[in-house]
């Protein structure tokens, strides 16, 4: 009966393993892409030119009008109030006028200032820890037989380390269990089994495994696993791995896109900024509009800084957790990784 039911169940296990590998690759690529677009020079230059173009008309129309109205209202309140309130209004008109002129005449400075939030967050989380945290665990689930080399760029090196940690934790480790039934057998034979395979042709790998992976070398239980006599257990392992990876991917990608969305939100606010910057010179409701616009601009910038820092911290923690595999095993270590991502989200 096992010869009848084992192959279809093995097919399900193989499909699940393929989905785990595909999703793991997607997480690694998307996170690297998000940190790769920490700065968007073409978009930022285009937005700066857009703001500069709109400022040409506002500089000769709305800004002088707003300054005249704002100055007149402030002076009138000064005459009515006998000093304090009016003088504060005059000072506000002068200060807001300076801010408005700086936005209209130097939009690139504002765009670069907004972008610096994500840049600082990325530097704090990745550059500062790249040299101190090491390369994580290069022995789990098996050694690859070479020492990784790095470029010296803190951010890029840390992204490579965290990508390797994610792949080892959520893709390679479940494959080891599903293929051999134990980490001990995988640690000894995993790399060789992978090296023997050729794209589209597994004949050499199967022949080598039949000749070398016998009960005398890896044990009876591991032999049954790689021969396909434990299909239900393999499905359970790959299904559990897929669920765990889905949870981690959802949390990490939420942080990644939140970081990017914060930057885009701040840049979009800058596009509408010239109008609000001119209006907040005038006391009253228009000034409230301008203050709200500025509050949201600062909020989006701080959000981009915080989210990028937190996302980088989750990746740094992932690298550190790989060093715990030998002590706590795969399950608790993956749980700690997901717990860190939940807290960050």
Q: What is the pLDDT of residues 147-165, one digit of tens each?
A: 666 666 666 777 777 788 8
Tokens of 79: 């005459």
Measured CA to CA in angstroms, residue 298 lies from 265, 276, 294 at distances of: 11, 14, 6
**Long-range residue pairs from 64-68, CB within 8 A, at least 24 positions apart, any chain:** 66/100, 66/278, 66/279, 66/281, 66/282, 66/286, 67/93, 67/97, 67/281
Report DSSP letters for 271-311, one per residue.
Answer: HHHHHHHHHTTSTTHHHHHHHHHHHHHHHHHHHHHHHHHHH
Cis peptide before 141 (omega within 30 of 0): yes
Phi-psi sector, 83: left (phi>0), alpha (psi -120 to 50), beta:
left
CB 246 within 8 A of CB 255: no
In terms of average pLDDT, the best of 194-203, 230-239, 334-343 is 230-239
Least confident residue range of 23-32, 305-314, 319-328, 332-341:
319-328
State the Cα torsion 159-319-254-247 to the nearest 10°.
140
Q: Which pLDDT belongs to residue 84?
A: 45
* End-to-end Cα separation, the chain, in angstroms: 48
Residue 169 has pLDDT above 80, yes or no: yes
For residue 266, being part of any structural domain is answered with yes
The pLDDT confidence band at residue 251, using thresholds 50, 70 and 90, is confident
For residue 116, being part of any structural domain is answered with yes
Tokens of 70: 């704002």
Task: State pLDDT tens for residues 18-37.
Answer: 899 999 898 888 877 777 66
Mean pLDDT of 241-257: 86
For residue 225, being part of any structural domain is answered with no
**How far apart are alpha carbons 165 and 341 in whole angstroms?**
14
For residue 211, being part of any structural domain is answered with no
3-state class of 38 per DSSP? coil
Query: Could you give the number of structural domains in the chain?
Result: 1
For residue 159, being part of any structural domain is answered with no
Q: Which pLDDT belongs to residue 226?
A: 77
Closest CA to 128 of 311, 312, 301, 307: 312
Residue 97 has pLDDT above 50, yes or no: yes
For residue 63, being part of any structural domain is answered with yes
Residue 206 CA to its chain's centroid (Å) = 39
Paired strand residues for 198? 201
Least confident residue range of 117-126, 206-215, 230-239:
117-126
Q: Whole domain around residue 60: which residue ranges? A: 39-144+239-344
For residue 157, being part of any structural domain is answered with no
281 φ/ψ angles, rounded to the nearest 5 degrees: -70, -30
**How far apart are alpha carbons 52 and 43 in whole angstroms?**
14
CB 311 within 8 A of CB 263: no
Residue 101 has pLDDT above 50, yes or no: yes
Residue 277 has pLDDT above 60, yes or no: yes
Q: How many helices (H) and strands (E) does the chain have?
A: 16, 0
Q: Which pLDDT belongs to residue 83?
A: 47
Mean pLDDT of 106-115: 82
Mean pLDDT of 71-77: 73
**How far apart are alpha carbons 292 and 277 in whole angstroms?**
11
Least confident residue range of 2-6, 47-51, 254-258:
2-6
Q: Which pLDDT belongs to residue 88?
A: 73
**How far apart are alpha carbons 127 and 153 in whole angstroms?**
8
Residue 327 has pLDDT above 80, yes or no: no
Residue 210, exposed/middle/buried by CB under 10 A (0-12, 13-18, 19+)?
exposed
For residue 24, being part of any structural domain is answered with no
Closest CA to 213 of 236, 196, 232, 235: 196
Task: State pLDDT tens for residues 122-148.
Answer: 777 666 555 555 555 667 777 776 666
Q: Which pLDDT belongs to residue 39?
A: 64
């Amino acid at each position: 009966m096992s010869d009848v039911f084992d192959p279809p169940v093995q097919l399900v296990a193989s499909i699940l393993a393929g989905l785990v590998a595909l999703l793991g690759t997607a997480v690694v690529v998307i996170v690297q892409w998000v940190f790769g677009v920490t700065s968007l020079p073409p978009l930022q230059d285009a937005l700066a030119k857009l703001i500069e173009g709109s400022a040409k008309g506002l500089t000769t129309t709305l800004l002088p009008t707003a300054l005249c109205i704002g100055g007149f209202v402030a002076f009138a309140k000064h005459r009515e109030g006998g000093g304090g309130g009016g003088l504060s209004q005059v000072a506000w008109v002068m200060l807001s006028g300076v801010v408005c002129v700086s936005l209209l005449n130097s939009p690139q400075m504002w765009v670069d200032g907004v972008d610096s939030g994500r840049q600082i967050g990325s530097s704090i989380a990745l550059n500062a820890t790249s040299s101190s945290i090491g390369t994580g665990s290069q022995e789990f689930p098996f050694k690859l037989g070479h020492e990784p080399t790095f470029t010296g760029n803190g951010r890029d090196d840390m992204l490579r380390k965290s990508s390797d940690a994610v792949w080892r934790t959520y893709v390679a480790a479940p494959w080891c269990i599903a293929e051999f039934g134990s980490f001990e057998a995988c640690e000894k034979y995993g790399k060789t089994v992978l090296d023997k395979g050729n794209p589209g042709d597994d004949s050499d790998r199967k022949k080598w495994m039949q000749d070398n992976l016998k009960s005398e070398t890896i044990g009876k239980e591991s032999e049954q696993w790689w021969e396909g006599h434990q299909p239900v257990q393999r499905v359970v392992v790959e299904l559990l791995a897929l669920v765990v990876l889905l949870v981690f991917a959802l949390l990490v990608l939420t942080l990644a896109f939140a970081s990017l969305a914060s930057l885009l939100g701040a840049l979009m606010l800058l596009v509408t900024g010239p109008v609000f910057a001119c209006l907040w010179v005038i006391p009253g409701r228009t000034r409230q509009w301008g203050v709200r616009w500025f509050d949201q601009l600062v909020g989006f910038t701080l959000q981009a800084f915080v989210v990028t820092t937190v996302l980088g911290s989750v990746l740094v923690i992932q690298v550190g957790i790989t060093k715990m595999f030998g002590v706590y095993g795969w399950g608790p270590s993956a749980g700690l990784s997901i717990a860190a991502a939940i807290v960050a989200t």
